[in-house]
Amino acid sequence: MPAKYQLARNAARNARAAVPIGPGLQDLVALAGRWDANVEFLPMDPDLSGFIIKEEDTDPRIYINAAEPLHRQRFTLAHEIGHLVERQSVAGDQDYSFTDYRSNAGYDLHEFFADEFAGELLMPAEPFIQSLQRGGKVGASVEFNVSIPAVQKRIERLIKNPPES
């Protein structure tokens, strides 16, 4: 069986092939809709980035903190879609919820999958590496409309588990 990071990256590549992801939020909302998820942007507590709720026999609901910058909302939405994909497509669950705070407390394999999915979805490995070579971390941040910390985390993950050729 493939490693968790490979499952997440493959799922992200498949999702990206189905719905090309542009620099805003609309493509991510459309992608969430492929899993029948409803997405809402609401002001939330500053420590809360977003969450997903899926109860049996209901459509998933994703909530994103509208008070955060666009690049943060993009990563959070991609991350929540990662939870959706992991629970429905990989695990087959129909009843789950995840709440994502700005801190890394409670980081587990579900969070790892969602982060890995979001990283590959928003910053596909090969174009991301090329962008880093051209413009460094700031250039990649601008090109992919993600935060510098998201770029740094993606670099760390690709160093630990390089993309497959």
pLDDT digits (tens, 9 = 90+) for 2-43: 888 999 999 999 999 999 999 999 999 999 999 999 999 999
Has residue 120 got a pLDDT over 60? yes
Question: What pLDDT, on a 0 to 100 scale, did the predictor assign at position 87?
Answer: 80
The predicted pLDDT at position 103 comes to 55
Confidence of residue 157 (pLDDT cuts 50, 70, 90): very high
In a domain, 165, yes or no: no
Structure tokens given for 84: 């959706």
User: Is residue 33 in a domain?
Assistant: yes
The β-bridge partners of 51 are: 63, 99
Instruction: List, as one string, the DSSP characters of the chain.
Output: ---HHHHHHHHHHHHHHHS---SSSHHHHHHHHTTT-EEEEE---TTEEEEEEE-TTS--EEEEETTS-HHHHHHHHHHHHHHHHIIIIIS--SSEEEEEESS-TT--HHHHHHHHHHHHHHS-HHHHHHHHHHHHHHHHHHHHT--HHHHHHHHHHHHHSPPP-
| pLDDT value at residue 130 | 98
pLDDT of residue 93: 56
Whole-number pLDDT of residue 111: 86
| pLDDT level of residue 76 (50, 70, 90 thresholds) | very high
Count of structural domains within the chain: 1
Residue 25 to residue 93: CA distance in whole angstroms: 26
Helix axes 70-85, 26-33, angle to 10 degrees: 10
73 belongs to a structural domain: yes
The answer to whether 62 and 40 are in contact (CB under 8 A) is yes
Q: What local confidence, expressed as pLDDT, does residue 60 receive?
A: 94
**Mean per-residue pLDDT over the chain, rounded:** 90
User: Residue 40: inside a domain, yes or no?
Assistant: yes
52: containing domain: 4-160
Q: Could you tell me if residue 56 is inside a domain?
A: yes
Residue 154 inside a domain? The answer is yes
Is residue 80 very low, low, confident or very high in pLDDT (cuts 50, 70, 90)?
Answer: very high
Whether 145 shows a pLDDT value over 80: the answer reads yes
Q: What CATH number is given to the structural domain containing 152?
A: 1.10.10.2910
